Structure 1
Amino acid sequence: MSTTEVPHRAGEPAAHRIGRGWAALVGVLAVAAAVAAGQLVAGLVAPASSPYLAVGDAVVRLSPHWLTEFAKAAFGTADKAVLLAGMAVVIVVVAALAGVASRRHPGPAVVVVVVLGVLGLGAVMFEPAFSPLDMVAPTASLVVGVVVVRWLHGLGVAAADRPDGAGGLTRRALLVRSATAVGVASLAGGAAGAWFGRGAGDLRGPVTARIAAARLTERAPAIPASAAYPELGTPTFLTPNADFYRIDTALRVPVLDPREWSLRIHGMVDAEWTLTFDDLLFRPLVERAVTLACVSNPVGGDLISTATFTGVDLRDLLLEVGVRPGADQAFSTSVDGWYTGTPVDVLMEPDRGAMLAVGMNGEALPLEHGFPVRMVVPGLYGYVSATKWVTDIELTTFDAKAGYWLKRGWAQEAPIKTQSRIDSPRGFAEVPAGRVTVAGIAWSQPTGIGRVEVSMDGGPWRDAELATDVSGDTWRMWRAEFDLAPGGHSVRSRATAADGVTQTEATADPVPDGATGWPGVSFSVF
């Protein structure tokens, strides 16, 4: 890269004007060092205080409804990664331009670093769970950014004045080594910050042991081998925790120490309660297999999973605190500031099975699924019921408060709709001629599935064979066989709930209360 450039202003030493390439790199490396320092210090001191991620969270919170829906439709579950990548590109461009503007003096780059640092500081300060300790990471980020930009700029000037070979290093070698050192340190610092930020996850081990030793007053039904057809392409009946779908607004997974966690239940109640994690585990625990589905799931989509959850019956808790007449909404809030409202009448149904879950598939909740405590309400889409990292439940009314997604155009009450999905054959698959097995899943919580029908190539509907029923709160697998000749084929499915409600053919987008329609798959037989 060039360290000097001509022509330059008359009377001004060329060494005072570093080359464009080095100047741009100075800006980029300084901002990279600032971001890495913020991430590292956040991981060591307060994982929720990363300024880079705080800015991303602010973008999510402040984005208009149309932009949020566009991102979800365009990028699906990768929307957060796309946001962070887009932020990185913008920051790199701004930093490079600031560096180029600082060829004679580091002032412009320092100003840009300070402005970015202040934005990060402000984003952290306006986080829902802000504490004074959260100021440390963005402050460190700002200081490191300013120090690095001035140091690298000064190094560029000194290198331009330095005769090649002086002290055994050429000017290019000096700059390359310095730039490499800053770049490597930034990458290492950012990675270390991410690693340290997950340190509290080690507390899951003791929680898993406590759950295993706890007294269960209700056990989940046994899962027979005949409840699923994974050999035919359906999922396993219980979804491994690592494969369980995840939808939330958090760019940073909250890391909570269960010894410091508490839940406040208040509002329109006879007696306000504050529960600690020990209080929960001292209560009788229940174990329930539940299928959770996302309202954003398109027809035939994969935003659905099943797990065995362990926790405390939420209805019992609400009966003890005493819900006052007129309270029609349980307004729950996550530690990261997300909030939603759940219909009280649903929570109070004796057989609904709503719970505060502490365990998932025999172990403590994974961090990304709400550790240490989350809500689980069978039969409702998650955006009105499944608050992760829950720390507050206020009994109130729908007229008094609106949930996060309700403000963004989604429905107030969101019962899960009767749906089916074709898992095999996959779309555009090629299968051998002869007897072809079509298999999939269907769900209609909390009622359960009573029938699934399949239509091949627009022909008459045929009943599929249903797998062993486990619970109305869980999905049900199905399969059907057809003798098919070579060529192109298409298959559709429709489910009927145990109460006789059949999946509608009418197509509808997920907004405002869930997609509808019959799933279809086209494939080839050879």
Structure 2
Amino acid sequence: MADRELRIAAGIVAGGVTLGVAEVVSVLVSPDSTPLQAVGAWIVDHTPDGFREWVIGLVGTNDKLLLFVSMGVVAFVLAGIAGVVERERRPFGSVLFAVFGLLSMLAALGRPNAAWTWALPALLGMIAGILLLRGLIEKITRLDAGAGEDMSVERRQVMRGLLVAGGAALVGGVAGRLIGLRSRDVSAERADVRLPTPSEPEPSVEPGADLRIPGLTPYLTSNSDFYRIDTALTVPQVSKDDWSLRIHGMVDREIRLTYADLAAKTPIERLVTLACVSNPVGGDLISNARWLGYPLKELIEAAGPHPDADMVLSRSVDGFTAGSPLAVLTDGRDAMLAVGMNGEPLPTAHGYPARLVVPGLYGYVSATKWVSELEITRFDRAEAFWTRRGWSAYGPIKTECRIDVPRNHITTPPGKITIAGVAWAQHRGIKGVEIRVDQGDWQPARLAVAPSIDTWVQWSYDWDATASGLHTIWARATDGTGATQTDKQQDVVPDGATGYPSLTVRIG
């Protein structure tokens, strides 16, 4: 193998050792302190909104996996370059490693709740990587000066050594990551949690609420199918024994509630549909579940919020913040500190042990997972994570609908075709849904039973498709106040997408 290729391999192996050592050290510090985790979180915080929404639209909830893979590829490409430019007397590659290590340390120390020890994984990984890189390059440099069969044999030995070191770095890094995650895993604890009994019987889903039309999304979304959009690169693992909720700020008395304290309170159980502001027209970033929790109105009023306060800034253990209108959380709607989802403790990916659920607000201003603080404040004094990035401060959910069946671009013979979907206007309810084929008149669809104004409702319409050719199907919803969704096309930024959902089918 050419010496240049040996240098590239040496850089990649040294880069692998850097990341591997960092992962192992993070077991003793925090899983969030590793270079990939810290740099990835920094990238999430500083990615332009337009690019972020484009990526989500392209890969959906696989955006975090794509980010990790991309960072890994970039890291090893840079490590290979470092191996090429490293010289015995001019350590350009070592400087590149040092720059990466410094940036990683700064990213780690800039994370919420970070301690000085969060710099150690990147620091020690950087030192190990530089030492290995220097040693390997010196060895390769000596090989460059030699010749003959002995040098050829030694090159093969060096290559075998690089492969062994690379494998060891990979195994060490993976083992460090797995040990770190396992040491904080709360899945066994969650499995043993027994949910409290709500004050009223479980909200029933009447048979007429689910039309059970093939291809139509079910009325209730299973926990495994519930959409997940958040800023956490890895799911926080929070033990209920360590969790607490601090209510403070513009209040008469600060309150701190533990999970055990909640046992003395009476929970409620409600059906609520949650929606992401990043959901495009006709998109699937919306789901419906049965939630068990404690009324936020009671928790907040126990702290005595000041009359001039108008905002609740909720904080997650991972540093995410959401700003909710205080009036919305205390106006009597079923806004809650949720601990259960569809009859189970919250899944860790959806906020175990506790999260916020607020009917009528997009998740970015209300649905804080792994919530640890509620700061009572004012909108003119504080900004939340997304509002600092130009999104609307209030985020009320718009009246929208979606067409689930038939599938877009299908070809089907003439005859009766069932058009069906879901519509939502949380905390206002849906009064009606209308369908239009091509430029025809709007026709009323049949609504399923709506168990709650805080959830979506299914609808269907039977179309006698007799004319051959390509046809466009449109839908629009009207909410409980009589307001019909707008046909104005608007992107998700800054407060949610608008427009009529549509699809095309070919008859014949």
Q: Given the two structures, how large is their TM-score scaled by the length of structure 1?
A: 0.89
Pairwise mapping of residues 15-26 of structure 1 onto structure 2 (< 5 A)? 19-26=3-10
2:501 partner letter: P
Pairwise mapping of residues 199-210 of structure 1 onto structure 2 (< 5 A)? 199=182, 202-210=185-193
Is the counterpart of residue 269 in structure 1 residue 262 in structure 2? no
Q: 2-side partners of 1:436 and 1:323: how far apart?
A: 55
**Worse overlay, 176-185 or 407-416:** 176-185
Is the counterpart of residue 469 in structure 1 residue 450 in structure 2? yes
**Cα distance, 1:92 vs. partner?**
2.8
Q: Is the 8 A contact 1:332 1:340 kept in 2?
A: yes
**Cα distance, 1:453 vs. partner?**
1.2
Q: 2-side partners of 1:426 and 1:84: how far apart?
A: 33
Q: Is the 8 A contact 1:232 1:439 kept in 2?
A: no
Q: Deviations over 1:5-48 (max 9, x none)?
A: xxxxxxxxxxxxxx211112211221122123323432464212
Is the counterpart of residue 504 in structure 1 residue 504 in structure 2? no
Is the counterpart of residue 180 in structure 1 residue 163 in structure 2? yes
Q: 1-side partners of 2:355 and 2:313: how far apart?
A: 14
SS in 1 for 2:384: coil
Is the counterpart of residue 359 in structure 1 residue 343 in structure 2? no
Tell me what 1:335 maps to.
317
1:298–1:48 distance in 2 versus 1, CA, 3 Å: same
Quote the RMSD (CA, aligned, Å): 2.5
1:276 partner letter: T
Tell me what 1:11 maps to.
none
Tell me what 2:241 maps to.
259
**Cα distance, 1:84 vs. partner?**
3.4
1:141–1:482 distance in 2 versus 1, CA, 3 Å: same
5+ residue gaps in structure 2?
none
Counterpart among 13, 16, 20 of residue 36 in structure 1? 20
Tell me what 1:147 maps to.
131
Pairwise mapping of residues 64-103 of structure 1 onto structure 2 (< 5 A)? 64=48, 68=52, 71=55, 77-103=61-87
Pairwise mapping of residues 132-281 of structure 1 onto structure 2 (< 5 A)? 132-157=116-141, 164=149, 170-199=153-182, 202-212=185-195, 214-281=196-263
**Cα distance, 1:170 vs. partner?**
2.9
Q: Is the 8 A contact 1:430 1:523 kept in 2?
A: yes
Q: Is the 8 A contact 1:447 1:497 kept in 2?
A: yes
Q: Is the 8 A contact 2:106 2:119 kept in 1?
A: no
Is the counterpart of residue 109 in structure 1 residue 128 in structure 2? no
2:229 partner letter: I
Tell me what 2:360 maps to.
379
SS in 1 for 2:322: strand
Is the counterpart of residue 408 in structure 1 residue 389 in structure 2? yes
SS in 1 for 2:291: strand
Q: Is the 8 A contact 1:121 1:139 kept in 2?
A: yes
SS in 2 for 1:232: coil
SS in 2 for 1:174: helix
Q: 1-side partners of 2:36 and 2:198: how far apart?
A: 43
**Cα distance, 1:437 vs. partner?**
0.8
Q: Is the 8 A contact 1:269 1:321 kept in 2?
A: yes
Q: Is the 8 A contact 1:258 1:277 kept in 2?
A: yes
1:181–1:90 distance in 2 versus 1, CA, 3 Å: same
Tell me what 1:308 maps to.
290
Q: Is the 8 A contact 1:106 1:149 kept in 2?
A: no
**Cα distance, 1:206 vs. partner?**
3.3
1:303 partner letter: L
Q: Is the 8 A contact 2:88 2:134 kept in 1?
A: no
Is the counterpart of residue 417 in structure 1 residue 417 in structure 2? no
How many residue pairs get aligned? The number is: 506
1:410 partner letter: W
Is the counterpart of residue 479 in structure 1 residue 463 in structure 2? no
2:490 partner letter: A
Instruction: Give percent identity, aligned residues only.
Output: 41
SS in 1 for 2:224: helix
Q: Is the 8 A contact 2:391 2:493 kept in 1?
A: yes
2:449 partner letter: T
2:203 partner letter: P
Q: Is the 8 A contact 2:246 2:373 kept in 1?
A: yes
Counterpart among 112, 126, 135 of residue 128 in structure 1? 112
Q: Is the 8 A contact 2:351 2:371 kept in 1?
A: yes
Is the counterpart of residue 54 in structure 1 residue 35 in structure 2? no
Pairwise mapping of residues 384-463 of structure 1 onto structure 2 (< 5 A)? 384-463=365-444
Counterpart among 481, 486, 492 of residue 474 in structure 2? 492
Q: Given the two structures, how large is their TM-score scaled by the length of structure 2?
A: 0.92
1:502 partner letter: T
SS in 1 for 2:431: strand
Tell me what 1:27 maps to.
11
Q: 2-side partners of 1:257 and 1:206: how far apart?
A: 8
